[in-house]
Amino acid sequence: MTKLRSFLAFAFLLVACSPVQEDRPFDDDDQPPGSTPWNHDETVTCTTADECGEGEVCADGVCQMARCGEAFESQPPLGQNRYFGTDGELAVISDNTWVDAFEGSNGDYLNSWDLQSVGGLVVDVAGGNLTGLRPHSVAVAVEFSDVVKIKGDTVSELDVGLWPKAIAAGDVDGDGIDELVALADDGTISLCQVDLGTCSGASIPNVTGKDVVVADVDGDGFEEPMFLIDNQGSSQLIVWNTDAAETEQEESFGWSFNFPVVAIGAGKVTGAATAEVVMLEDGGWWGWSDDKLYVFQPASEEFILDQSVNGHTLDVAVGDRNSDDFDEIAILRSDKQIELFSYENSQITSVMTAPVTVGEEAQRISFVDWNGDSASGRLVEGPELVAGDTVPVAALLFPPYPAEVSVGYKSASVFLGSTDSTDESMSDTISLSVGLGISFGAEAFGFKAKVGASISKSTSVTQTFSKSLSVGARYTANSEPELFGRAYAPIVMSCGCYHRYRYQTEDPANLIGGTGQTVDLYVPVGGQTQLWSSLRYNAMAEATGLYPKIEIPSQVGSVDTYPAAPIDLTAQPVVPEDMVFTDIPTFNASDVGYVNFFLSAGESETNAVAESTDFGVNSSFGGGVVSVDASINIGVSQGYSLRIGRSNLFGGGIPPIADDPDTP
């Protein structure tokens, strides 16, 4: 086998909504804030929003942080319709003019599609979610015709711009709807979006096209078209990364094999995260010698399994017959027998042989959802804007200084993050990480397990919507004990904003618990951050009973009230494993100049364990408002978590301290 290239000073709360804004020590008229500074009033009861401050709303008789008041945009996370696995049947081309369907479980004949009137021989059949609607579509290619027949609820036609030798279906762009791929005898390719009726072209020059399949062989969430070609007598497999612009992968690559490959299938035979390609080798000797199946894994570039089969095998197909996420291998023999293989105990095992009971001769085989009984979820509601709970992220404690003897500009300062930054990733501050959430309307374990696994697979790799985002801001605050008193600190509060999309199951075969069950997905779309005084925050926390009170353990401008060693907000010593910075520096005050200091998370020794804290899902989606299932692994960070950016700055400053003239 030969590889081929180039074919085509803070306290952090363990409990982060108006537009994000920095704290201003002055009002809009550039005058000191006087007796009504930013969110400092301890009166929080209200009957209307007019009685609350800017960026606040009156909710349940209490002034609270306004949340998610702006417009957001998002895409449905599972599209308009998403299948939860495939319950496939076997489709056989017989007598070149019929497509006959057989039950995947036992080989029983179902019915046939009569294509005698299409004006040519049927050369291939493929099926998939080509329109985004139920049921799955079945497509057939006809000899010497560029028109592909597509059967769903009705029969339609699509001009693919070439005469197909083989066709296949798969989701190459990760949008939940399958594309149709056609390969011509001369190596030209057509990639079609059936739901839009459009096609684009490509080609592999100077080769003979033999077969095509579509599967995700690299685990990136995009399925790749793969082409079996004959290049001057050598069998070659070419992978086309149609997603190369997004994934920055090679656009095309392939392998050359030292045995004759007559047909291919592709799917997750072993149930692994990446698909395998099953190759059918012609054993020769007019059928006296066995043919052979090889299971090739493009991700590792290795043959992982092989199996001898009947020497009169015509075709091979790979697909899921029972929606268990393990694909079976089907072969079609010239004696009109179908044989089915599955992966068991690390080997391929024959599990069924059944006759093709109609027609005189059989030509090709494929897996399709012929009877339309695969389970799916249909979008029925959304997007609906849902505000996550407000949570306190950080208390900004002013550094110790003696207010009575400071000279010049007497205010100490504290800052969080680089206030000059425009970094949208919030890597330079403390941020609230907001993640995708899922809620089930049913409690049946089998339903949750099946649908949760399918959603996990879809959402962990999709590129069509945001699975997580960071909400944060950068702040600078100056102490004003003469105006605000000494027992206060700025409190940073944040919330996440979500779009809720509701899907309802359509499950005629009762594969996942029946039709009519609901699944809600909460897609993070934004968030907001606001700075409050600890006095007003505590008044709001006491009035609502929803938030922990934050008692500031020191007095602004009073050095004697500061502890000799770090303590948390419950006045308990901070244990070493909770310290963000492992080495605490010492700074000396000046009698003539303002002393600034800072620590950078990216430049100092830090404790990685203390840099992230999970809040759980209840805070994320409003506590009891919705029931979010935290047991389902959806491949992303669920709900809220607090993160300290690797380039974050923590700092502040103290004013000059008058020296005693009687001392050196």
Distance CA(457)–CA(454), nearest Å, equals: 5
Give Dmax over CA atoms of the chain in angstroms.
116
User: In the Cβ-directed half-sphere of 652, how many Cα atoms lie within 13 Å?
Assistant: 19
pLDDT of 98 reads: 97
pLDDT of 634 reads: 43
Strands 362-368, 234-240: pairing is: unpaired
Name the 3-class secondary structure at 9.
coil
Looking at this protein, which amino acid is placed at residue 586?
T
Judge contact between 340 and 352, C-beta under 8 A: yes
pLDDT of 247 reads: 80
pLDDT of 178 reads: 94
Name the 3-class secondary structure at 515.
coil
Q: Which of 363, 449, 395 is nearest to 95 (CA)?
A: 363
Distance CA(389)–CA(494), nearest Å, equals: 8
Strands 122-128, 109-114: pairing is: unpaired
pLDDT of 636 reads: 39
Find the DSSP H helices in 486-600: 534-544
Q: Check the CA dihedral 255-260-265-270 and report its sign.
A: negative
The ranges of the chain with pLDDT < 50 are 5-37, 408, 604, 606-612, 614-619, 622-637
Judge contact between 431 and 423, C-beta under 8 A: no
Q: Which of 495, 498, 518 is nearest to 507 (CA)?
A: 518
Judge contact between 505 and 512, C-beta under 8 A: yes
pLDDT digits (tens, 9 = 90+) for 296-320: 999 999 999 999 999 999 999 999 9
Distance CA(455)–CA(157), nearest Å, equals: 32
- Structure tokens of 347? 């080997």
Q: Which of 197, 166, 193 is nearest to 178 (CA)?
A: 193
Sorted by where each starts, the structural domains of the chain and their CATH numbers stand as 10-78+378-654 (no CATH), 85-374 (2.130.10.10)
Judge contact between 432 and 642, C-beta under 8 A: yes
- In degrees and rounded to multiples of 5, residue 274 shows phi and psi of -115, 145
Calculate ∠ Cα 94-278-218, nearest 5°: 130
Distance CA(184)–CA(89), nearest Å, equals: 26
pLDDT digits (tens, 9 = 90+) for 551-579: 888 888 888 888 888 877 777 888 877 77
Judge contact between 77 and 58, C-beta under 8 A: no
pLDDT of 570 reads: 74
pLDDT of 608 reads: 47
pTM: 0.76
Distance CA(303)–CA(318), nearest Å, equals: 16
pLDDT of 287 reads: 62
Q: How far is CA 305 from CA 221, 302, 308, 324, in A?
A: 24, 9, 11, 21
- Structure tokens of 406? 């400071």
DSSP structure string for 33-49? -TTS-TT--S--B-SSG
Three-state SS string over 361-429 comes to CEEEEEEECCCCCCCEEEEEEEEEEEECCCEEEEEECCCCCCCCCECCCCCCEEEECCCCCCCCCCCCC
pLDDT of 645 reads: 60
Name the 3-class secondary structure at 242.
coil
CA 662 to chain centroid, in Å, comes to 68
Question: Is the link from the previous residue into 135 a cis peptide, with omega within 30 of 0?
Answer: yes
